[in-house]
Amino acid sequence: MSFDKPYEGLRVVDLSQGVAGPYCAMLLGLHGAEVVKIEPLEGDWSRQLMPAYGDNTAFSVAANIGKKSIALDIKNDAGKEIVDRLVAGADIFLQGFRPGVIERLGFSYDRLGPLFPKLIYVSVSGFGQRGPLRDKPAMDPVLQAFTGFMSENHGPDGAPHRTPNIVNDMATALYAQQAVAAALFARKDDGRGRHIEVSLMEAAANLQAVRLMSGHRDGPFKVSMVPNGVFETKDGWIQIVVIRDSDFAELCEALGRPGLADDPDFATAAARLKNGRELERRIGEVVRTKENDYWRKKLTEASVQNEVVQDYQQFVEHPHVKETGLISWLVQPGSETPWAVPNVPGAPNYHSNDPIAPRVGQHSREILNSLGYSALEIDNLVKESIVSD
């Protein structure tokens, strides 16, 4: 254990697939834990999402950096025995099956908890372990629809849209990781593990807590300040936010329209909200005359909240992002071009010589050997398609 690796000495057995559970386990590994990823012989399904590069995709790289992979048929008795041996030496166990599946496989908390009282057992699911939707399959877009997010994310066509960012998966991983951290802290005093249940539904609701509470009480989202939105420029789009009257005055100066700040129709927040469409039309006419870079510089100098709408390539290559060291460039098997991996806040930065996201079953033999299996036994397990290496 060290300041940089407070979880050093802990073992995590990760039986989850996709992003939510695996990303939680990856975060634990980033803080020093040894993470053993148990995946099917064909690999975690996140490896098959396109575009794929060898054994990995952007989904599987982000969620599995630094792990050791064993590819295993856990429906086979010999495979179950390997899981049991791994769990016997583990501090944390993660599974992400739909409710009831883990029981059928033989690795429920009701079984493992009494056998290993110090085990912190994490169940990740879509809709939770109870309720009429518990058995319904659910990935991130389904929860974006169910929890209200899509109802307020309208496109120009007026239809609700999902965001391609898997916000609910990532949020679920973060909530799960903080729950594990709390459980580890509590275990220091009483020595007991616990069963932690985290669902994408719960994470999505908490991620949207402000809008959820406001929307339930006051109805659909309504603009509360103007200007606050995206304006078209000569070569793109820029987001502008004004809160105080003094901010609006600064904006008007930067736009070369100082008289707008004194116009009774726009001088106060209430007036701007009442006459929002006309104000946005006037601002839009000015903003369209210049390029993104011009307005970014001009508005920033005026201390007006703004930023150009960038794509991911522009973001990664921005001088500020480079200066802050946000991105680490990691080479993964299957692609000679490094991946732009964002460093996790509050954790040590990735380095080019760090462990990478493993290939399917890359560490099968190493892991089995550490569990006491002989080379001949491992060869037989591979030959019988119980293990893949």
Model confidence at 352: pLDDT above 80: no
3-state SS of 312-362?
Answer: HHHHHHCHHHHHHCCEEEEEECCEEEEEEEECCCCCCCCCCCCCCCCCCCC
Local structure of residue 154 (DSSP, 8 states): B
Q: Domain holding 259: CATH number?
A: 3.30.1540.10
Domain extent for 169? 11-210+326-388
Residue 1 has a pLDDT of: 63
174 Cβ contact list (under 8 Å, min separation 6): 24, 27, 203
Residue 223 has a pLDDT of: 86
Residue 336 has a pLDDT of: 84
The answer to whether position 151 is within a domain reads yes
Beta-carbon neighbour count of residue 222 at 10 Å? 8
Q: Domain holding 29: CATH number?
A: 3.40.50.10540
Q: Residues 349, 299: one domain?
A: no
CA distance 40 to 71: 5
CA-based nearest residue to 332, from 33, 22, 59 = 59
Q: Residue range 29-51: average pLDDT?
A: 95
The answer to whether position 57 is within a domain reads yes
The answer to whether position 239 is within a domain reads yes
Q: Which of 284, 309, 334 is the last residue of a domain?
A: 309
The structure tokens listed for 372 are 């006491």
CB burial class (10 A; 0-12, 13-18, 19+) of residue 176?
buried
Over the stretch 136-195, which tens digit does the pLDDT of each residue have? 999 999 999 999 999 999 877 889 999 999 999 999 999 999 999 999 999 999 999 999
Beta-carbon neighbour count of residue 278 at 10 Å? 13
Q: Residues 37, 119: one domain?
A: yes
End-to-end CA distance of the chain: 31
Q: Residues 356, 290: one domain?
A: no
CA distance 49 to 134: 25
Q: How many domains in the chain?
A: 2
Q: Residues 260, 377: one domain?
A: no
The answer to whether position 20 is within a domain reads yes
CA-based nearest residue to 198, from 280, 143, 260 = 143
Q: Residues 232, 200: one domain?
A: no
CB burial class (10 A; 0-12, 13-18, 19+) of residue 59?
buried
The answer to whether position 299 is within a domain reads yes
